[in-house]
Structure 1
Amino acid sequence: MEPICIVIADDHPLFRDGLRALLESVPDTRVIGEATTGTEVIEEAQALQPDLILMDIKMPGTNGIEATRRILQTSPHIRILILTMFEDDESVFAAIRAGARGYLLKGAVQEETLRAIRAVARGEAIFGPAVASRLTHYFSSMQPTGKSGPTHFFPELTEREYEILTLIAQRKSNAEIAVQLILSPKTVRNHVSNILSKLQVADRAEAMRAAWTAGLGQFPSEDL
């Protein structure tokens, strides 16, 4: 069998060196590139077309979540395994929405890392034990109330933020949202800023598309 061709995206040289040494110690994986920023890994993915990318979340410039989203827009066949120190709900769910096929913490033992790489390369979805436990707890705690809410689509958002995102999906301006919710324009702007940060999107248009994807509002007949 051909080895799994891998790009490592992480801004810590010692961690990259350790991963490379691990991957070079087994016959079924091959490192074909490395990147230290989100912009670099997007370029590497386009140029090298690897089978799999090991993606950190926090990197200079474009973060790993946004890099994942952009890579999969043009190269959906590439598998992406998030390998990070962050296990908070916000990061986990943002990675899943961006299209990552796996999520593993950097403290994982080498055997676990290799198993995850092989599983994701086969097309499976794989999550480390700690992350899997959080996902299981989240989905088991969901109550079928019959109405949409932040626990159903965007668990990282507060109820107010979810309400504002819903109005953004309806193409409401900040001024219109302020009037409808009886809030000051400054308060609305602060909520919108928090929404962009939590969803890890670059601007209002991307937040709107994320909301449409989740079923809030409808996709327009043509792009914004």
Structure 2
Amino acid sequence: MDPLTILIADDNPKDFEFLEQLVQGLEVPCQIERAHNGKIALEKAQRLDTPLVISDIQMPELNGIEFARALWEQKPMARIIFWSQYKDEMYVRALTSIVPPETVYGYVLKSNTRERIASAVQTVLIDEQCWIDPEVRKVQGRAGHRQTALSDIEYEALVDISLGLTDNLIAQRRYLSRRGVQSRLNTLYTKLGLDQEQFHSEKFGDAFNLRNRAVSVALRRGLINAFELEHEEEELQGWLKKFRSSKRV
């Protein structure tokens, strides 16, 4: 029996070493490919007939979700197990929207025991069955509930206020009217469970700044994090550069 090729995508040398030893202990012979960022992982996975991948979520160049989206567009039967220290709702939400029908995948947290991580890898890559960490399933429930799950538009609004954009700048960036921006934000506040009347009294006025409160709640839910906001900031700076150039013409 020819050995299976398993691609490990992780930029942390210690994590790679751990996974390499774990894969060598699987029930079938395996050879290992390594990628230290998402872009290289995609290039290597594209050359495999049926890619079998263990991928970190937070990686340079392309994060694990972006890598998976690009790979599944070309090879929908690729089997990927995401292993991460994060169960952030932003990742679970994004992943739910990109998994192709009938695709086998997994999500296991790094906090698990070695035996449990090995079982998850075996289940997904060898036995061809999905394996989702119980802690991640809880987040999936919230991310999939219509009263609490954010739409793409609402998530976009959350990113904009997390970056500190005013209503005017959001309107320019998203091709909206100010009223359209405020409508999106009000819907976002509702999804985050922010009762605007609760934060207002006749004597004291507004008790909270709703934008700041929304960011606080989103951070606790894992809808945003510093790692991904760095990427969003880069995109914003690129847009601002084009926006300023257009105003000078």
TM-score higher than 0.5: yes
1:72-111 alignment runs, 5 A limit: 72-99=72-99, 101-111=105-115
Provide structure 2 residue ranges, at least 5 long, that are not aligned to the other structure: 160-170, 183-223, 236-249
Q: Give the alignment partner of residue 133 of structure 2, picking from 124, 128, 132.
A: 128
Distance 1:18 1:161, change over 3 A: closer
* Alignment-derived partner of residue 178 in structure 1: 177
**Structure 1 pair 2/175, CA: closer, same or farther in 2 (3 Å)?**
closer
State the shift of 1:67 in Å: 0.7
TM-score normalised by length of structure 2:
0.57
State the secondary structure of the residue aligned to 1:6: strand
* Secondary structure of residue in 2 paired with 1:32: strand
Take 2:181 and 2:89, find their aligned partners in 1: how far apart are those partners? 30
Match runs of 1:29-48 below 5 Å: 30-48=30-48
Give 1:57's aligned amino acid: I
Distance 2:13 2:56 in 1: 12
Cα pair distance change 1:25/1:118, threshold 3 Å: closer
State the shift of 1:50 in Å: 4.8
**Deviation of 1:111 (Å):** 2.1
Q: 1:7 touches 1:35 (CA, 8 Å); kept in 2?
A: yes
Which runs of 5 or more residues in structure 1 are unaligned? 144-148, 163-171, 184-193, 204-224
Whether the aligned pair in 1 keeps the contact of 2:5 and 2:52 (CA below 8 Å) is: yes
Which residue of the other structure, out of 150, 155, 158, is the alignment partner of 1:157? 155
CA–CA distance in structure 2, aligned partners of residues 78 and 57 of structure 1: 16
For residue 115 of structure 1, the aligned residue among 116, 119, 134 is 119
* 1:120-153 superposed Cα distances (whole Å, 9 cap, x missing partner): 23443221121123324555xx36xxxxx76264
- For the 8 Å contact 2:93–2:143, the answer to whether it is kept is no
Equivalence map 1:52-71=2 (5 Å): 52-71=52-71
Q: 1:119, CA displacement in angstroms?
A: 2.4
TM-score, length basis structure 1: 0.63
CA distance in 2, matches of 1:103, 1:156: 25
Give the Cα–Cα distance (whole angstroms) in 2 for the partners of residues 79 and 3 of structure 1: 16
Distance 1:64 1:177, change over 3 A: same
SS in 1 for 2:27: coil
Aligned equivalents of 1:83 and 1:95: distance in 2? Answer: 13
Percent of aligned positions that are identical:
25
1:6–1:29 Cα contact (<8 Å) kept: no
Deviations 1:179-223 (A, max 9, x none): 55266xxxxxxxxxx9xx68x8998xxxxxxxxxxxxxxxxxxxx
| Alpha-carbon separation, structure 2, partners of 1:52 and 1:182 | 43
Amino acid across the alignment from 1:35: A
CA distance in 1, matches of 2:154, 2:180: 21
What secondary structure does 1:177 align onto?
A: coil
Tell me the matched-pair count. Answer: 174
Alignment match, 2:243: none
Deviation at 1:155, TM superposition (A): 10
Q: Distance in 2 between matches of 1:175 and 1:15?
A: 39
